[in-house]
Amino acid sequence: MEKILSALRALGVEQYVITEKHTDSLECFYVKKNLDLTRRADTAVTSVRVFRPFEKDGTKMLGEAEATVRPGMSGAEVRAVLERAWYAAQFVTNPWYPLPAGVKESARPDAGGFAGKPLAESMKAMTEALFAADTAQDVFLNSAELFMRRTATRIITSAGADVGWEKTDVWGEYVCQCPAPVDVETYHQFNYRGPETAALTAAAAHALEMTKARSRAVTAPKTGTYDLVLDREQLRTLLGYYVDRAAASMIYQKYSPFKLGDAVQGENITGDRLTMGLVATEPYTGFGAPMADLPLLDKGVLKAIHGGPRFAHYLGVAPTGEYRAVQVPTGDTPLEQLTAEPCLHAVSFSDFQMDPLSGHFGGELRLGFLHEDGKVIPVTGGSVNGSILDSQGHMRFSRERFSTENYDGPLAVRIGGVAVAGS
């Protein structure tokens, strides 16, 4: 750190953000029930963003550029990479904005459930939890990857920030396979900040059950227009539309028409009015300012614009930092009632996508349940192609709740009139 600060002083850099990150990661890769490879990654990297004020055509500018400082670099090497960034910053012609003030606080120790435990011990517990669901012969875990990660972050800025924190989490992915009657697989991810072994076992059990259902699904739904029920990760992705469109960068650059106080869910709402909050998952912003939860929507009305200091300043709103997680109140309708009328309940896609620019969502259907004529028929194949701009006034949320690392809200939503290309 002293090498960096010394080089910045020598270059005359007065505004900067230094982010130091050290990661220790223990990784296990399984094929069926066999450990195939064990990895450890012990890596460190420091990014230094320099800010250079200047004037162009009478307008005050603030150029910026980033340099990466690697462990083991000599003082001369550090100075050289910072000098290149400082040079580049003079050509970055963005209008001036103030760097937000940071805070000086002692480093926060890991507050999660993995704190203080050796990574190997936590790895063993989470692996055991994952495979605890793998008890059947006809459907099983095909493969799994688990990453136990302990990360220490420190941010120092020219605007007074000196903060640090440590966190440990587990991230992983697994594939479920059901060989008969049709040999199929499904893909799943998980991420926990503590040893939530019961939650992981339950999630894997649900995934295995859905894989079995996919194996029985042999036909695609008929081409047509359906009422669609989306759940879990797909619903989180769908609602990401509002988070993306409420970003200061999107609004300032006119990619999003959202304005504070607007009824962004539309005026003609026959379904549930959407309330949504952004949840801080890190203690500080990238500029070393404390992060707090932020109400985003209240009954369909935009209450906040979020983002970093540059575009926030241009729009005249307060910078908030970057959010990854959302919280949404559940609805009043039980899932059973959401699917009581004819609909396509899509539970798995190959890659469900929501385009915040166009409002279109869709993907290839890997598993759905067609509810019609009192029957529930598993279906697979074909694609869904809808627009949230057409659907958002008629959303009906489930009473049941679903929680992940980046979402806490209704389990499912029902929306009307979505095109499906099928058989």
Partner 1 sequence: MKVQPSAFIVEKRPLLLQLRDALCAEFDYASILAEDTVGKYYRVSRHSVSADEGDTARGFVVKALDKGRYAEYSFSVLTAEAIPEIVEAVRQLLAADVRPAGLAANTYDPPREEPTVFSGATDYELDPADCSDGEILDRLTALRDRGLAMDGAVLDFVAWMSWQRYTKLFLSREKDMTQSVMYLTGGVTAAAMKDQEVKQAYLPCSGLGGMELMAAMEENVAPCVRTALDLLHSESMIPGTYECICDPETTGMIVHEAFGHGVEMDMFVKDRAQAPQFIGKYVASPLVTMHDGASSARQTATYFFDDEGTLAHDTVVIDKGVLRTGISDLQSALALGTEPTGNGRRESFARKAYTRMTNTWFEPGQDKLEDMIASVKYGMYLQCPSSGMEDPKNWGIQCMVDIAREIKDGKLTGRIFSPVVLTGYVPDLLRSITAMSDGAELSGSGFCGKGHKEWVKVSDGGPYIKATIRLG
Are 372 and 224 a contacting pair, CB within 8 Å? no
- Shortest CA distance to 246 belongs to which of 315, 183, 144, 292? 315
For the segment 148-177, give every residue that binds partner 1 (CB under 8 A): 173, 175, 177
In the chain, the amino acid numbered 363 is G
Instruction: Show the tokens assigned to 122.
Output: 């936590």
Are 148 and 122 a contacting pair, CB within 8 Å? yes
Binding range to partner 1, per CB under 8 A, among 24-32, 100-108, 268-276, 409-417: 24-32
Binding-residue total with partner 1 (CB under 8 A): 85
Site string for partner 1, 344-363 (x = CB under 8 A): -----xxx-x-x-xxxx-xx
Q: Give the DSSP H or E segment for 119.
A: helix 119-132
For the segment 327-346, give every residue that binds partner 1 (CB under 8 A): none
| Cβ distance to partner 1 smaller for residue 160 or 359 | 359
Q: For residues 210 and 177, what is the distance between their CA atoms, to the nearest angstrom?
A: 10
Site string for partner 1, 39-78 (x = CB under 8 A): xxxxxxx-----------------xxxxxx-xxx------
Of positions 33, 60, 104, 299, contacts partner 1 by CB under 8 A: 33
Of positions 209, 322, 364, 400, contacts partner 1 by CB under 8 A: 364
Binding range to partner 1, per CB under 8 A, among 270-278, 377-385, 398-406, 407-415: 377-385
CB of 351 to partner 1, least distance (A): 4
| Cβ distance to partner 1 smaller for residue 6 or 93 | 93
- Shortest CA distance to 26 belongs to which of 125, 130, 129, 160? 125
Residue 11 found at the interface with partner 1 (CB under 8 A): no
Cα dihedral 336/342/348/351 (nearest 10): -130
| Cβ distance to partner 1 smaller for residue 63 or 277 | 63
Instruction: Show the tokens assigned to 406.
Output: 């980046």
Close Cβ partners of 157 (under 8 Å, ≥ 6 residues apart)? 16, 17, 18, 99, 102, 287, 288
CB of 391 to partner 1, least distance (A): 13
For the segment 236-265, give every residue that binds partner 1 (CB under 8 A): 252-255, 257
Q: For residues 138 and 208, what is the distance between their CA atoms, to the nearest angstrom?
A: 10
| Cβ distance to partner 1 smaller for residue 398 or 407 | 407
For the segment 178-207, give every residue that binds partner 1 (CB under 8 A): 183-185, 187, 189
Which residues are bridge partners to 177 per DSSP?
140, 185
Of positions 1, 103, 198, 389, contacts partner 1 by CB under 8 A: 389
Q: How does DSSP classify residue 11?
A: H
In the chain, the amino acid numbered 303 is K
For the segment 276-335, give every residue that binds partner 1 (CB under 8 A): none
Give the total residue count for the chain: 423
